[in-house]
Structure 1
Amino acid sequence: MADTTDGEAEVREAIAEMEAPFPEVGERFHELIMDSGPGLTPRTWYGMPAYAKDGKVVCFFNAEKGYMSFALTEDANLSVNEDASHQLIEASWYFTELDDATEEKLSEIVRKAVT
């Protein structure tokens, strides 16, 4: 596993390679994830920006086909959905830009996912 510095560089390189306008959105999202998930280690995972806790990837994002996707892995706290009345677990989200409401929701998801 790469150290945090190498992982940071890998993540920023993967973000820079995204199609416009996603490098800018990706940089903002990277900062949001790092601020919302203390203890997360940035790295790439299958070429995508990803974030690990205790060596296991808990979330990642990617940009393609006009939108950005963000997902949790099985190593995240998957109880982000407060409605436990069904068996479906929200684990992936799509967006095209980071407005205040989207940033707030994604920050909340990251905080819960790493607890």
Structure 2
Amino acid sequence: MADSTKPDTFSPEEKKAMRDRAKELKAAAGRENDAAANEQAIAILPDDERELAERIRDMVVASAPHLDPKTYYGFPAWARDGKVVCFFKPKSKFKVRYSTFEFDTAASLDDGAVWATAFAVHNEMTDSDLAMLGGLVAKAAT
């Protein structure tokens, strides 16, 4: 015979706590998968573009470590609260002259009536170039 002093089911609070924990685990697994996809998107690039993408990645991580790596249309990207802030678009993807580093609409770059959201990037970028982009990433990530 069942003990009537012990409930057969979980309380509403316990059920909510279990649902919340399941969401946390799913989100963590999603972030891990997103980070792995970002790394894979960089790893499969031709050597010159991979080197450039790695420099971009290092700059983004240094400038806004709270951004989450992910992919955006197969491009290496970084997001805040699930929304893409910036991404690297390799030239080989569209067989164009140069790769670009771009900011998406979640980026907080508004500056008057006109501001840049995409930059042509090349392996000859200097530390000064990366610092300029890093400043924009830090601003965009707020």
- TM value normalised by structure 1: 0.85
Match of 2:120 among 89, 94, 98: 94
Whether the 8 Å contact between 1:62 and 1:70 is mirrored in structure 2 is: yes
Moved more, 36-45 or 59-68: 59-68
Give 1:24 shift. Answer: 1.2
% identical aligned pairs: 33
Runs of 5+ consecutive residues of structure 1 not aligned to the other structure = none
Decide which structure has the larger Cα Rg and report it.
Answer: 2
Give 1:88 shift. Answer: 2.1
Runs of 5+ consecutive residues of structure 2 not aligned to the other structure = 1-26
Count of aligned positions: 110
Whether the 8 Å contact between 2:86 and 2:103 is mirrored in structure 1 is: yes
Looking at secondary structure, tell me which structure has more helix per residue.
2
Q: Which residue of 1 aligns with 2:98?
A: 67
Query: 1 or 2 for the larger relative contact order (CA 8 Å, sep ≥6)?
Result: 1
Looking at secondary structure, tell me which structure has more strand per residue.
1
- CA RMSD in angstroms comes to 1.7
- TM value normalised by structure 2: 0.70
Give 1:5 shift. Answer: 2.6
Q: Which amino acid aligns with 1:28?
A: R
